[in-house]
A = this chain, B = another copy of it.
Amino acid sequence: MTDTTPAPCAPEDVRRVACIGAGVIGGGWVAHFLARGYDVTAWDPAPDAEDKLRRLVAAAWPALEQLGLAEGASQDRLTVTATLAEAVADAQFVQESAPEKLELKRSLLAELDAATPPGVVIASSTSGYPMTDMQPQHGDGADPGRLVVGHPFNPPYLIPLVEVVGGESTAADAVAWSSRFYDVAGKSVITMDRELPGFIANRLQEALWREALHMVANGEATVKDIDDSITEGPGLRWAFMGPCLTFALAGGEGGMGHMLDHFGPSLKSPWTRLEAPELDRELRDAMVDGCEEAAGERTYADLVAERDQGVIDVLRATGRLGGTAR
């Protein structure tokens, strides 16, 4: 990555966002940015794109009202343009959400780079391709330094997570600018320092998902067993406490260190079809340090109380306490 500074305005000063591609993901982005009070221009080559997009935004709006609209937020601040060039002409940030086809993404991003005002960051929603494979080459007026990946989760107007990462030619400043912008725009950002197929959350999801497929294939569990085992078990905690801290809590006062020192060897047992990593000192310490950092000032008792209250709140919220059925 290079280090040129591309941004024409501070992330806090962005007022107008362009969304290119208005399907489920692109339309979800439009709804999100509108709800956060931005002016949004959108473009999609499909002939009925505007109708579909406005219906998607209208359908999402009651949910967005529940989440809390920013001051001045309105569906009326959406402009659907006839051309890509019009959509990005005055944009201070561009979010591309075209179908996952490599050649399409490459030519579209080159076209966007040519049409978008100098220095404005262009982010791709891709879940499948590293930016290195999609961004234009230097030269011929191209500015690959401002292209980043901003990978959302469906629907982008509800699930906070965005994974941000640059390609080989991306400027470090463009990554930092994007992360800050998404943060200001109400997303939860993970900034990655390298391109990694599947990013982080999808790799974790996929590991669980593959094990589920093995179990169904072997007749060991049904689809219902698998879904119930998560929603009635660990899924209740994962809504607010991640797998690392949850595992650490199971170690009582001894935390992650106790768990790894005592149960580490059993990770090598052939329970799952996933190859176990070497649990050396370095990995052990990285896990322990990470959990201690995550706990911060909170004691074990604090964390247990937080977990218990969280589970109760989630059970109540999802209608699983007596008398509160949804």
In Å, the complex CA distance between A316 and B223 comes to 29
Cβ-based interface call for A1 (8 A): no
Interface hit among A12-20, A81-89, A173-181, A245-253: A245-253
Please name all residues of chain B whose beta carbon is closer than 8 Å to the beta carbon of A202 when the two chains form the complex. 271
Query: Does B68 contact A321, Cβ atoms closer than 8 Å?
Result: yes
Cβ-based interface call for A200 (8 A): yes
- What are 30 pairs between A and B in contact, CB < 8 Å? A63-B312, A66-B321, A158-B311, A160-B233, A163-B229, A190-B228, A190-B229, A197-B269, A200-B226, A200-B229, A203-B271, A204-B234, A206-B267, A206-B272, A207-B207, A207-B210, A208-B243, A210-B272, A213-B277, A223-B289, A226-B243, A227-B243, A227-B245, A228-B242, A230-B238, A235-B238, A236-B239, A273-B274, A274-B274, A313-B318
A residues near B (Cβ < 8 Å) are: 24, 60, 63, 66-68, 128, 153-155, 158-161, 163, 188, 190, 192, 194, 196-217, 220-245, 247, 250, 252, 266-267, 269-280, 282-283, 286-287, 289-291, 293-294, 308-318, 320-323, 326
- Shortest A92–chain B CB gap in Å is 24
In Å, the complex CA distance between A252 and B205 comes to 19
- Shortest A186–chain B CB gap in Å is 9
Query: Does A221 contact B233, Cβ atoms closer than 8 Å?
Result: no
Query: Does B217 contact A68, Cβ atoms closer than 8 Å?
Result: no
Query: Does B272 contact A234, Cβ atoms closer than 8 Å?
Result: no
Cβ contact of A242, chosen from B230, B293, B313, B315, cutoff 8 A: B230
- Shortest A73–chain B CB gap in Å is 12
Please name all residues of chain B whose beta carbon is closer than 8 Å to the beta carbon of A250 when the two chains form the complex. 154
Cβ contact of A215, chosen from B203, B221, B235, cutoff 8 A: B203
Please name all residues of chain B whose beta carbon is closer than 8 Å to the beta carbon of A225 when the two chains form the complex. 190, 192, 200
Please name all residues of chain B whose beta carbon is closer than 8 Å to the beta carbon of A190 when the two chains form the complex. 225, 228-229, 232
- The answer to whether A224 and B309 touch (CB under 8 A), given A207-B274, A215-B203, is no
- The answer to whether A220 and B194 touch (CB under 8 A), given A234-B205, A271-B202, is yes
Cβ contact of A287, chosen from B223, B294, B321, cutoff 8 A: B223
Query: Does B210 contact A277, Cβ atoms closer than 8 Å?
Result: yes
Query: Does B206 contact A318, Cβ atoms closer than 8 Å?
Result: no
Query: Does B204 contact A278, Cβ atoms closer than 8 Å?
Result: no
Known: A161-B228, A190-B229. 17 other contacts (CB 8 A): A63-B309, A67-B312, A159-B233, A159-B311, A161-B229, A188-B228, A196-B220, A197-B271, A198-B272, A207-B207, A207-B208, A210-B267, A217-B278, A227-B241, A227-B243, A231-B242, A317-B318
Please name all residues of chain B whose beta carbon is closer than 8 Å to the beta carbon of A273 when the two chains form the complex. 207, 274-275, 277
Query: Does A290 contact B222, Cβ atoms closer than 8 Å?
Result: yes
Please name all residues of chain B whose beta carbon is closer than 8 Å to the beta carbon of A217 when the two chains form the complex. 277-278, 280, 282-283, 286
In Å, the complex CA distance between A127 and B251 comes to 15
Please name all residues of chain B whose beta carbon is closer than 8 Å to the beta carbon of A203 when the two chains form the complex. 211, 215, 271-272
- The 6 A-B pairs with the shortest beta carbon distances in the complex, nearest first, are A227-B242, A223-B290, A317-B317, A235-B238, A207-B211, A161-B233
